[in-house]
Structure 1
Amino acid sequence: MHRYLVSAIALALASASFTVAAQPPSVSTAVQTTTQLPRNVRPVHYALEVVPHASSLTFDGKVAITLDVLEPTATITLNAVDIAFASARLAGAGVEASGIVPRILVDTQEQTATFIFDAPLATGRYVLAMDYRGKIGTQANGLFAIDYENRAGKQRALYTQFENSDARKFVPSWDEPNHKATFDLTATVPSAQMAVSNMPVTQTTELGDGTKRVRFAQSPRMSTYLLFFGLGDFERATLQAGDTEVGVIAQTGSVAQAQFALESSRDVLREYNDYFGVPYPLPKLDNIGSPGRSQFFGAMENWGAIYTFEYVLLLDPTIATQADRENVFSVAAHEIAHQWFGDLVTMSWWDDLWLNEGFASWLAGRTTEKLHPEWNTAVAAVDVRERAMRRDAVVTTHPVVQHVETVDQASQAFDSITYSKGEAVIRMLEGYVGAEAWRDGVRRYIKANAYGNTVSDDLWREVEAAAGKPVTAIAHDFTLQPGVPMIRVESARCEGDTTTLVLKQGEFTKDRPDKVPLRWRVPVIAQAIGSDSPVRAVISEGEGTMSLPGCAPVLVNAGQSGYYRTLYAPEQRAAIRDRFTQLRAVDQLGLMGDTWSLGLVELQPASDYLDLVRATPVDADPQIWGSVAGRLGELDDFYRDDATQQAAFRAFAIGQLAPVLARIGWDARPGEAGPVANLRNTLITALGALGDADVIAQARRRHAAADRDPAALPAALRTTVLGVVAQHADAATWEQLHAQAKVEKTPLVKDNLYALLSSTRDVALARRALALSLTDEPGATNSAAMIRTVSNQHPDLAFDFAVAHREQVDGMIDSASTSRFYPILATNSLDPAMVGKVRAYAQAHIVESSRRVSETAVANILYRVGVRERVLPVVSAWLSRRGSAARGDIAERAR
């Protein structure tokens, strides 16, 4: 999952400020954990009662915290935000029956409440009880409300979202991952509504005033950020997976659309029970669907009560696609993996967040490949690696195991380094030690640390013991230092039917060509094209050699499990290009990824990528063409301000993609493979964006005919076709889509329509979408999404608008996201002046320790400007030469 910072206004009986000295965090070790709170008190159990008042967006809370005082202290400090304390009392051994009433001091900046006693408390066990009032928000953090409208009318549902540091908005607590405790939750709620939490309901008592008291079973020992509470007009469907009741919960009338998610959750849970060797320990596992969205996460792994936005849980029959189906499965597999890796065993501090997220991402990919081989998702591992390397190759990157001190820094840790690089490194290490040894190491790790907290070295120790290989040193190279290794193939010489590769390790960077490269121990797999016998080696000390039988061209990083770029000498590149069609799809995709990225930083001609595109047969793996479509779209965007050169490039790009669409057609065929269905939507979207007149006309025709001919706009094409129509909309068409959005009664479809309104290329209509985002009409969680969508086409316009209306926009995003939301809007800019604007915004509104995202936006803008200035001329020259050659070929054929 993803997460944030907190805006802190806490009310207390006392007005003084008390600051807690923070202990500095460190890179993960096996013996030291990092905490921001004093370590002299530790929670054991929370007995929590809440009474939500949805109409007034407030709630009343009572909590009795059983705690251990580990050394004598006159103060107890815990986390609290937006909490107004009414009373507090301490009971325990050595305390008189009436208890002790402490003074309460709140520090809003540190997000703490400190309970001060007249005399030091002796070591021992106590109960700290307090009554308080809290706030219900309208964005997805803390306890929050989602307003939506369906066919039954206007509705309001409540949910919680606590990762990384927002449980403190719901219950005063030790809101840090290594302060685990058990939880008893009781809620007083409207009788007609369903309440849900991590554990099953054990008792329901009607109170006779239209409300009921619902008591949930005690939770296992867990971190505060995994606590969940939901309330609304819900319905639930269930299946059984062994001893576990698996459920989906959604707004009344829509739970049938979660049937695929329910069946997938059951199948994934069975698979994970076997993989981990430790059965899922809770009696039930629910997945709770919510209308709306967040800009920074789609689902959250609360133990036994996964929270998921509807767009990645429900399959609405009017708009669902094959890609939606795959996404529902992947998200469920990711979040269920967390039930072990994150929930049962939790990182000690946010420095090791990747232990949660990288592992869950990797296991979700592995499980999707195993349970749905027909989707051919193994190739997608290359896309994961590419996402990570895009972020990891700029100056603002950071290690996988990172240094986190503040709430905001923890929020920013949920990025592609944590997720995608973490996943890619795990895939590489599994390939190095072997799948069985890796699984055995994971099983040892889970059994040894159940209900506890760990650091990365705890995992390496168990994998190394299971594999009998020196994993830790390699793992440290890839997780404790940032950056992307680059393997240069200095030479490939064949003598006596043996090819010897001379390899040199450097570093791939997008913005520091003169950087002194770091050193990694790199597991390398090389394979002669046409051979079934890969050769393995670890390249250390910056160089090495490999010997392979035969004299065929050699592909380095065969199978693409390695986290590194490969740069070949020109003659080797040419030899591999000439055998391109003989490569496996995963290697074709990997080679194209390296060629693309190395070309954009001028380590080889950028036109080499276009040569590979031309070498790609029309019937290549659908995911190859999907990747090509995306990259051609990226190049097209670089030509944004040069209509003449853009027209020449578009002619080439359309010439490559249109025959592929013609081959698969606009309409699905019986028994069609999932990747083909996905490619159809990708190509229609890409060709529409490239201005293909035939595709735009076809989309408009189908849209116009939809009311009288349902077959013109089948569900699998609806969103894609509307996307092309919206992108090229005139004012009348835009208003037509706007009218549909206003009357739509299905929240999932309604949200989609407001996103489409924001995707227009027309600047005047984009401004209308931005203005609309500031109104109540789209819904509280859609407004920020509309601004973000506008930024895809008009980054400068979206950024300037958001900054100009910052006071309003701040209310549309969760309080921890302001340091990320605004800079991200500018990332796709090609205007050098935007660098100054982003930095000025950061200096004015983001504390210095939280400027990583803004500086990353700056780095990407500078990189894009450099590509436009230095690389596009190479591409344009290639297009010009190709155009002249093509005209000569036509003339020759005419003679």
Structure 2
Amino acid sequence: MHRKLLSAAVAPAFTLALATAPFHVSAAPTRASATANADTTTQLPRGVVPTHYQIALTPDAATASFGAHAVVTINVAKATSTITLNAAELKFSKVTLAPAAGGAERDASVAVDNDAQTATFTFAQPIAPGMYRLAMDYTGVIGTQAVGLFSLDYPGADGKRQRALYTQFENSDARRMIPSWDEPAYKASFALDVVVPAAQMAVSNMPATKTETLPDGRKRVSFATTPKMSTYLLFFALGDFERAAAKVHGTEVGVVTRRGALPQAKFALDASQAILREYNDYFGVRYPLPKLDNVAGAGRSQFFSAMENWGAIFTFEYALLLDPAIATQHDREEIFATAAHEMAHQWFGDLVTMRWWDDLWLNEGFASWMESRTTARLHPEWNTHLGAVGVRESAMRRDAIAGTHPVVQHVETVEQANQAFDEITYSKGESVIRMLEAYVGANAWRNGVRAYMQAHAYGNTVSDDLWKQIEKAAGKPVTAIAHDFTLQPGVPLIKVGEPACRNNATTVALTQAEFTRDRAGKAPLAWRVPVIAQIAGSKNQASTLVTGGKGAITIPGCGAVIVNAGQSGYYRTLYASADFAQLATRFASLAPIDQIGLLADSSALGLAGLQPASDVLDLVKATPAGADPAVWTRIAVLLDGVHNRYREQARGGDATRQKRFDTFAIARLAPLMAQVGWAARPGEASSVANLREELVNVLSNLGDANVIAEARRRYAALATDASAVPGPLRKTVMGVVAQHADAATWDQLHLAARNETTPLVRDQRYTLLAATEDRALAMRALQLALTDEPGLTISAAMISEVALRYPDMAFDFAIAHLAQINARVDASSRSRYLARLATGSSDPAMVDKLGAYAQANLAPSSRGDVEAAIAAIKDRIQVNAARLPEIDAWLAQNAQ
């Protein structure tokens, strides 16, 4: 499942029965499921195991309901009078059991536990051990949010509303369509047939093997039987679709879109072919299914952008379709990365699946790492390898404050499993893999991964199964290091001693502490930390493993020392002030990846009070105009972050400090904007296109009059000159106009959104209405979001957009309309939606509001995101009070 396009501002709210449904735990090892012999966690009684599902499904999109007949072949290991499986929002009309080899049927009585999401079938006589066929007739509902079997409505080419159906089962929602053992360790094969309108296309994991016309004009489509897989990977879609395909290594690679949108999927189809060739080679195991589709859906989810259903990836249109006339370079990179992520899951997650949600990172961390690795490898011209620091920073922001958790975390409830899809699982998981690959070497790492795939194909694993194979291939103590970084939370801090140069070699002492932003005096945890270092300007590197809290490294050459050279390590680096000053003077000569790393570390360490908060501004001032565009993009993001902190203070009545900082930031960025210009130049690097987009956005946030005026001029000129705004800047320019709109302009944008017929563009326009700086217009956007006009899947995104600027207003509005919000948020996201709306607040009152919300709506085990939001708010308040004065003082001395 891909999350990178999900706004950090979103997260869920609700009264959730699911949150109180505990999983049964036979063994809860202190370090989560680190050992392969730990009993698998389960919510269901042991002793009955499914081996095959035969499902006949008849959906009715118009009535938002379905009927089904399912026959599950089961193995009963010990005598029992009851069979319990997962079921949610299903109504049973008949349940029978018969021996698999043939024999009399037995009727069952049915008891449904809505809170536990289970159905129990009780039989008059005990069932002897053996193989049986469990047959169930039942009905269910088709929802409007992306859980279970759901519908997405969109305007068709003729303006009439169209409806398509899709499924979303991860993590625990297959039970909404199929009574099942809905847990990853219960792998089975699936045979699906569906009765559907004759004019519509049905898609599932496997190719259709038979299509027959029924007397009533509908058709029955039967799909080939899947390999053994977990329930959450089953998929079905139905709609007025088109499909294009190509062959790669014997596999049919396809894209499926709503009618008329197929040309916009060409980029994704081309990308998928290249990625499949790469993965067939990398994993050493060929993709095993006959086809691999990527199915596009209109709208969006607050939880995910794409899902790795085996053989039938589902992706929302904004993360799959690309119109070359208006697409940005960032769009191309994200679409490619999303495809790379989901296709990596076809091996890491689908072929080999984590045993239980404790080890979700085996799916998501690895797929995130493969996504980044593959994008950089297949498109080196995009220079995306420099994004590794941004991934690390995303994890460390969460990992350095209270409320964090280990990468491998014990999961006991459905809602805890939902909440495990976060920055720690994805971004920290990816960063730890990057560090371990650098430690053992790329070839050894790949050999270990290949051995892991071959050993565990079609099975379930825990993290130690991977470490065993990597360690065997590398001949290095990977498991111990991996345990340090995955079984305990937090961020190591490497303090660098004074360099000593003798005989053209430099030695520095290294001390391991812990980086935390909100727990001064915390006793540091211990990590074995792989460290790579080099002399600034040199290509020669040295490496060591810091153990026991202390170490040293000797580097060829003399000069300023860069620790974490190449930025593969998951740790912060703290230099003595004199050594940092020396690096600052050499900043222009550092490799771009190390420039970005030094900017990130100095910013974070400064906010934590471990070095002057203004040090990062010294680096900004020292950055030459000709630095790599990715470095300037990072600087723009950093300056925007400081601006947002000052903006919070300005709303308290102190606007002078914000204006002084903004003047400095504009002075640094505006000349760069003049240099890159508003239109692409022939042959320019793709990273320049990304920088242009970022500069326009950030300068707009800073209130740069020139950028705002030019964006307005170009937007107005579009009425008579289609070339007034280059296609790749169209979304960006509209964003500036929306951000600074007055009431009349907002009404014009609203009318344009209402009249838009292309679903992807329409969704973008409605979201932009919520990006306004004007508080009264932001409230209008909130009110609009709760109407049916934008579409049920866009409402939550609009509210989240408002929360980026007005978190307190958005949170209060959501609380006041909680029932309506819950109807517009994925059930799997509700426990975090409101928490993330509030995360950007710097009002102490928000802490109590969040606590009251959690107390009234969430079980104690489902409050992880609320606790993380409270920690972030407290940290922001503390940092703003303690660090902004240091920046004020620096600006007084340095700003021109």
TM-score normalised by L of structure 1: 0.96
Q: Which of the residues 253, 256, 266 maps onto 1:246?
A: 253
Q: Which of the residues 110, 114, 122 maps onto 1:116?
A: 122
Q: Contact between 1:5 and 1:408, CA under 8 Å: does it hold in 2?
A: no
Q: Which of the residues 175, 178, 181 maps onto 2:182?
A: 175
Structure-1 residue corresponding to 2:8: none
In the TM superposition, 1:178-327 aligns within 5 A as 178-327=185-334
Query: What is the one-letter code of the residue matched to 2:821?
Result: V
Query: What is the one-letter code of the residue matched to 2:572?
Result: R
Say if 1:189 and 1:9 are closer, same or farther in 2 by CA, change over 3 A: farther
Superposed CA offset, 1:233-274 (max 9, x none): 000001110110000000000011000000100110010000
Counterpart CA distance in 1 for 2:502 and 2:337 is: 48
Q: Which of the residues 111, 127, 134 maps onto 2:133?
A: 127
Structure-2 residue corresponding to 1:136: 142
Counterpart CA distance in 1 for 2:16 and 2:573 is: 48
Counterpart CA distance in 2 for 1:317 and 1:572 is: 48
Q: Which of the residues 787, 801, 806 maps onto 1:789?
A: 801
Structure-2 residue corresponding to 1:675: 687
Say if 1:404 and 1:21 are closer, same or farther in 2 by CA, change over 3 A: closer
Q: Contact between 1:799 and 1:822, CA under 8 Å: does it hold in 2?
A: yes
Say if 1:582 and 1:93 are closer, same or farther in 2 by CA, change over 3 A: closer
Does residue 1:809 correspond to 2:821, yes or no?
A: yes
In the TM superposition, 1:478-497 aligns within 5 A as 478-497=485-504
Superposed CA offset, 1:409-430 (max 9, x none): 0000000100000000000000
Structure-2 residue corresponding to 1:730: 742
Superposed CA offset, 1:98-147 (max 9, x none): 31111111111111111112232111100000000001000011000001
Counterpart CA distance in 2 for 1:693 and 1:18 is: 54
Does residue 1:82 correspond to 2:89, yes or no?
A: yes
Does residue 1:703 correspond to 2:709, yes or no?
A: no
Unaligned runs of 5+ in 2: 4-11
What SS does structure 1 have at the residue aligned with 2:348?
coil
Say if 1:5 and 1:835 are closer, same or farther in 2 by CA, change over 3 A: closer
Counterpart CA distance in 1 for 2:231 and 2:449 is: 24
What SS does structure 2 have at the residue aligned with 1:218?
coil
Say if 1:154 and 1:93 are closer, same or farther in 2 by CA, change over 3 A: closer
Superposed CA offset, 1:486-540 (max 9, x none): 0001222223433220110000011111100000000000101122110010000
Say if 1:336 and 1:219 are closer, same or farther in 2 by CA, change over 3 A: same
Q: CA deviation at 1:24?
A: 5.4
Structure-2 residue corresponding to 1:891: none
Q: Contact between 2:448 and 2:471, CA under 8 Å: does it hold in 1?
A: yes
What SS does structure 1 have at the residue aligned with 2:538?
coil
Counterpart CA distance in 2 for 1:168 and 1:876 is: 56
Say if 1:814 and 1:24 are closer, same or farther in 2 by CA, change over 3 A: farther
Q: Which of the residues 330, 350, 359 maps onto 1:352?
A: 359
Q: Which of the residues 698, 717, 727 maps onto 1:686?
A: 698
Counterpart CA distance in 2 for 1:201 and 1:733 is: 50
Q: Contact between 1:19 and 1:107, CA under 8 Å: does it hold in 2?
A: no
What SS does structure 2 have at the residue aligned with 1:679?
helix
Structure-1 residue corresponding to 2:152: 146
Superposed CA offset, 1:782-802 (max 9, x none): 001110000001100000000
Does residue 1:648 correspond to 2:660, yes or no?
A: yes
Counterpart CA distance in 2 for 1:578 and 1:815 is: 52
Superposed CA offset, 1:404-461 (max 9, x none): 0110000000001000000000000000000000000000000000000000000000
Q: CA deviation at 1:21?
A: 5.4
Q: Contact between 2:100 and 2:133, CA under 8 Å: does it hold in 1?
A: no
Does residue 1:567 correspond to 2:574, yes or no?
A: yes
Q: CA deviation at 1:25?
A: 4.5
> Root-mean-square deviation (CA), in Å?
1.6
Counterpart CA distance in 2 for 1:422 and 1:622 is: 27
Structure-1 residue corresponding to 2:415: 408
Q: CA deviation at 1:551?
A: 2.3
Structure-2 residue corresponding to 1:750: 762
Query: What is the one-letter code of the residue matched to 2:455?
Result: A
Q: Contact between 1:8 and 1:81, CA under 8 Å: does it hold in 2?
A: no
Q: CA deviation at 1:318?
A: 4.8
Q: Contact between 1:143 and 1:161, CA under 8 Å: does it hold in 2?
A: yes
Counterpart CA distance in 1 for 2:783 and 2:24 is: 45
Q: Which of the residues 769, 773, 778 maps onto 1:761?
A: 773
Q: Contact between 1:9 and 1:81, CA under 8 Å: does it hold in 2?
A: no
Superposed CA offset, 1:612-651 (max 9, x none): 0001111111111111111111111111123101110000
Determine what percentage of the aligned residue pairs are the same residue: 60
Structure-2 residue corresponding to 1:890: none
Q: CA deviation at 1:822?
A: 0.6
Superposed CA offset, 1:177-236 (max 9, x none): 000000000000000000000000000011132310000000000000000000000000
Unaligned runs of 5+ in 1: 11-16, 887-895
Q: Which of the residues 422, 427, 430 maps onto 2:437?
A: 430
Q: Contact between 1:498 and 1:549, CA under 8 Å: does it hold in 2?
A: yes
Q: Which of the residues 831, 842, 866 maps onto 2:854?
A: 842
Counterpart CA distance in 1 for 2:539 and 2:434 is: 21
What SS does structure 1 have at the residue aligned with 2:520?
coil
Structure-2 residue corresponding to 1:35: 42
Structure-1 residue corresponding to 2:782: 770
Counterpart CA distance in 2 for 1:441 and 1:133 is: 46
What SS does structure 2 have at the residue aligned with 1:340?
coil
Q: Contact between 2:143 and 2:149, CA under 8 Å: does it hold in 1?
A: yes
Does residue 1:420 correspond to 2:427, yes or no?
A: yes
Say if 1:94 and 1:584 are closer, same or farther in 2 by CA, change over 3 A: closer
What SS does structure 1 have at the residue aligned with 2:828?
coil
Counterpart CA distance in 2 for 1:567 and 1:501 is: 13
Structure-2 residue corresponding to 1:533: 540
Superposed CA offset, 1:596-623 (max 9, x none): 0000011000110000000111111111
Say if 1:535 and 1:22 are closer, same or farther in 2 by CA, change over 3 A: closer
Q: CA deviation at 1:700?
A: 0.3
Structure-2 residue corresponding to 1:380: 387
Query: What is the one-letter code of the residue matched to 2:839?
Result: T
Structure-1 residue corresponding to 2:6: none
Counterpart CA distance in 2 for 1:796 and 1:852 is: 20
Counterpart CA distance in 1 for 2:887 and 2:21 is: 61
Say if 1:438 and 1:22 are closer, same or farther in 2 by CA, change over 3 A: closer
Counterpart CA distance in 2 for 1:414 and 1:543 is: 34
Say if 1:239 and 1:518 are closer, same or farther in 2 by CA, change over 3 A: same
Q: CA deviation at 1:470?
A: 1.1
Q: Contact between 2:21 and 2:413, CA under 8 Å: does it hold in 1?
A: no
Q: CA deviation at 1:375?
A: 0.1
TM-score normalised by L of structure 2: 0.96
- Between Structure 1 and Structure 2, how many residues are aligned? 877
Query: What is the one-letter code of the residue matched to 1:595?
Result: S
Counterpart CA distance in 1 for 2:512 and 2:457 is: 39
Counterpart CA distance in 2 for 1:507 and 1:306 is: 40
In the TM superposition, 1:583-732 aligns within 5 A as 583-640=590-647, 641=650, 642-732=654-744
Say which is worse superposed, 300-309 or 612-621, in terms of deviation: 612-621
Counterpart CA distance in 2 for 1:5 and 1:398 is: 21
Say if 1:61 and 1:528 are closer, same or farther in 2 by CA, change over 3 A: same
Superposed CA offset, 1:68-89 (max 9, x none): 0111211111100000000000
Query: What is the one-letter code of the residue matched to 2:878?
Result: G
Counterpart CA distance in 1 for 2:447 and 2:556 is: 33
Counterpart CA distance in 1 for 2:24 and 2:185 is: 18
Say if 1:882 and 1:211 are closer, same or farther in 2 by CA, change over 3 A: same
Structure-1 residue corresponding to 2:833: 821
Superposed CA offset, 1:373-422 (max 9, x none): 00001100111111111111111110000110110000000001000000
Q: Contact between 1:2 and 1:414, CA under 8 Å: does it hold in 2?
A: no
Structure-2 residue corresponding to 1:14: none
What SS does structure 1 have at the residue aligned with 2:226?
coil
Counterpart CA distance in 2 for 1:8 and 1:216 is: 35
